[in-house]
Amino acid sequence: MMIKKLSILVLLISSNLPSLKAQTQIDEKVILITLDGFRWQELFTGADPLLIRNKEYVDDTTALKASFWRETPRARREALLPFIWTEAVELGELHGNRNRGSKVNLTNTMWFSYPGYNEILTGKADDEHITSNDKIYNPNVTVLEELNNTDTYRGKVAAFGSWDVFPYIINDKRSGIPVNAGFTPANGIDLTQREVFLNKLQQEIPSPWGSVRLDAFTHNYALEYLKKNHPVLTYIAYGETDDFAHDGEYDAYLHAAHTTDAFLKELWEFVQTDGFYKDQTTLIITTDHGRGTQPLETWKSHGSNIPGADETWMIILGSQANSKGEVTSPEQLYTTEVAKRIRKSLK
């Protein structure tokens, strides 16, 4: 009797294996998120002691210190990025704290945005063709396009960005991937009430910059799309941190990082309450480049002439993360790892 039951069970399991495997593969989802030019220094140690009290870069140093100054780097980073340092740290891997030997670097030699995003999205530097931030359609195929070209993932990839160069980086023309970036409104016949309202506000609220919109638009357009269309691979590119840094506004830079941390929390909470995404979704969060530290004013800048602007970081949390928390042992990773992790999670 027992043997019979067992053999039926074995038969059932083995006959189900191929379909189970296929099911598992499509079940995994990835949301890739970038914070443009956000330094590892603030991610791992919070507000910079020299910048937070510098009247050249901060309007109201007393107010900023009340928000983000604490005595220890550990308390400072938690005040700045509460979701990352109280929740995400329990859910995955945090790479790039150079004070503890964990290093993540760019492999391209440009150290500015288009080359950085190209490296993140393709898994390879291209110093021959990607040498400016000009609106040139990317000759390289991103991991987004690669997956969108397969039968399994076609139509299940989407991208949102604050910077208006993303349609070119992702080559929306060739790849067919919907890219809502710059000042593009939500399009389609089935717009939600929120999307209609966001389209209205986007026209009414002026952006401080000509080619970058405020991140609240990018975030909420992405969130509405996730709820409505359930893409398997989504890319969300926030931009404020870089632009406020170029403007030399350290207070706005910190507030932008703090708000983006709240966006991450909102995304994660949505993922974990949505039947399609829950327990099957990985968030990969990174940056396109670092910024300077010495001399002090180079915090505003980046590029191959700014030492340290190739220093990046990477956070992986959710279903495909190795639960390590903050990596505190020596390692050398590269930004090229991001595309590899996406391929590994979805193939």
Q: Residue 245 CB, nearest distance to Zn ion (Å)?
A: 7
Pick out residues in 37-66 that bind Zn ion (CB under 5 A). Answer: 37
> Around 336, how many Cα atoms within 13 Å sit in the side-chain half-sphere?
10
* Position with the least CB separation from Zn ion: 242
CA distance 217 to 225: 12
Whichever of 139 and 303 has its CB closer to Zn ion, that residue is 303
**Distance from CA of residue 101 to its chain's centroid?**
23
Q: Residue 107 CB, nearest distance to Zn ion (Å)?
A: 19
Options 32-40, 76-84, 94-102, 131-139: segment touching Zn ion (CB under 5 A) = 32-40
Close Cβ partners of 213 (under 8 Å, ≥ 6 residues apart): 162, 182, 183, 202, 207, 239
- Answer for which of 42, 195, 224, 242 binds Zn ion (CB under 5 A) is 242
Whichever of 209 and 263 has its CB closer to Zn ion, that residue is 209
Whichever of 44 and 299 has its CB closer to Zn ion, that residue is 299
Q: Residue 307 CB, nearest distance to Zn ion (Å)?
A: 16
Whichever of 145 and 164 has its CB closer to Zn ion, that residue is 164
Q: Where are the alpha helices (DSSP H) in 208-333?
A: 215-229, 240-246, 250-271
Which secondary-structure segment (H or E) carries 283?
A: strand 281-286
Options 45-53, 68-76, 97-105, 241-249: segment touching Zn ion (CB under 5 A) = 241-249
Whichever of 51 and 232 has its CB closer to Zn ion, that residue is 51
Q: Residue 246 CB, nearest distance to Zn ion (Å)?
A: 6
Whichever of 37 and 161 has its CB closer to Zn ion, that residue is 37
Q: Residue 241 CB, nearest distance to Zn ion (Å)?
A: 9
Whichever of 27 and 127 has its CB closer to Zn ion, that residue is 127
Q: Residue 99 CB, nearest distance to Zn ion (Å)?
A: 24
CA distance 289 to 307: 12
Close Cβ partners of 75 (under 8 Å, ≥ 6 residues apart): 46
Options 29-37, 224-232, 315-323, 325-333: segment touching Zn ion (CB under 5 A) = 29-37
Does residue number 224 form part of the binding site for Zn ion (CB under 5 A)?
A: no
Options 55-63, 128-136, 234-242, 327-335: segment touching Zn ion (CB under 5 A) = 234-242
Whichever of 25 and 109 has its CB closer to Zn ion, that residue is 109
Angle, vertex CA 116, rays to CA 113 and CA 119, nearest 5: 150
CA distance 260 to 240: 9
Q: Where are the alpha helices (DSSP H) in the chain?
A: 2-27, 40-45, 49-52, 61-68, 73-80, 82-83, 89-91, 113-122, 143-148, 166-169, 172-175, 193-204, 215-229, 240-246, 250-271, 337-346
Q: Residue 207 CB, nearest distance to Zn ion (Å)?
A: 16
* DSSP codes joined into one string, 168-193: HHTTHHHH---EEETTPPP-SSS--H
Token reading at 140: 């390289």
Options 10-18, 182-190, 237-245, 252-260: segment touching Zn ion (CB under 5 A) = 237-245
Options 17-25, 195-203, 242-250, 326-334: segment touching Zn ion (CB under 5 A) = 242-250
Which residues contribute to the site for Zn ion (CB under 5 A)? 37, 242
